[in-house]
Amino acid sequence: MAGPRYPIGGRMSDVVLGVARRLRLPALEQRHSSTLVLGIFAGVNGLISIGLMSLAAFATQEPLVFPSLGPTAFLLFYTPHIPSAWPRNTICGHLIGAGAGYLSLVVFGLTNTPAAIAHGVSGPRVGAAALSLGLTALLMVWFKVPHPPAGATTLIVSLGVLTTLPQLGELMLAVLLLVGQGIVINRLAGVDYPLWAGRGPE
């Protein structure tokens, strides 16, 4: 095996090696830590992750694809061993982000106001965005569930892209679908990926 075991950091090469062994692909086993193979694996995982949710969105006519899920998908497969990628942190982090964003809309009277992307950023919108991100960071630390992509989720809400409780429910359903895929792929690869929270330092 040429090159370092983790040439781009993270533990994605462990996932690739596990999948190669499970599928009995010796050529992939030998090249599992090359940046070429890791890049292809990351691309295929991203395609599958968001592709499945896009198909579900098309079939149900519900918007199940959200920008903050892209970095979540990357975390689940790039660093599945760290707490911020565990199901507990992923689900709770996005839930906190969505809740903080919605609370910020309520506080600044923006629940029925068009999104900032369509009508520009106003003073109340700046306040809502700042409050939502501050609350999200505070609560993730207090509850020990850090998940950086939740910072994007809270801004999606506080900037008015999602403004209703049903929309937030759809967001959380998409998060659950993505976490389910993370569990399946990582377990298939033989990675000790928890169903909720793993053991280790937090």
- Alpha-carbon separation of residue 96 from 133, 148, 165 (angstroms): 10, 12, 14
- Mean pLDDT computed over 123-131: 97
Q: What is the mean pLDDT of residues 124-143?
A: 97
What pLDDT shows up at residue 23?
A: 78
Q: How confident is the model at residue 200 (pLDDT cuts 50, 70, 90)?
A: low
pTM of the complete model: 0.86
The secondary structure of 59-124 as a DSSP string is HHTS----TTHHHHHHHHHHSTTSGGGSHHHHHHHHHHHHHHHHHHHHHTT-TTSPPHHHH---HH
Say which residues have a Cβ less than 8 Å from residue 21's Cβ, sequence separation at least 6.
29, 190
Integer Cα distance of 197 and 202 in angstroms: 10
What residue ranges do the domains of the chain occupy? 12-188
> Is-contact 156 66, C-beta < 8 A?
yes
52 has pLDDT over 90: no
Which residue did the predictor score with more confidence, 149 or 16? Answer: 149
d(CA 134, CA 89): 17
Give the Cβ contact number of residue 77 at 10 Å.
26
∠ CA(168), CA(199), CA(14), 5° rounding? 85
CA 118 and chain centroid, separation: 25
- The Cβ-side half-sphere exposure at 17, using a 13 Å CA radius, reads 12
Give the pLDDT band (50/70/90) at residue 86: very high
Q: What is the pLDDT of residue 3?
A: 52
Judged on CB neighbours under 10 Å (0-12, 13-18, 19+), 109 is: exposed
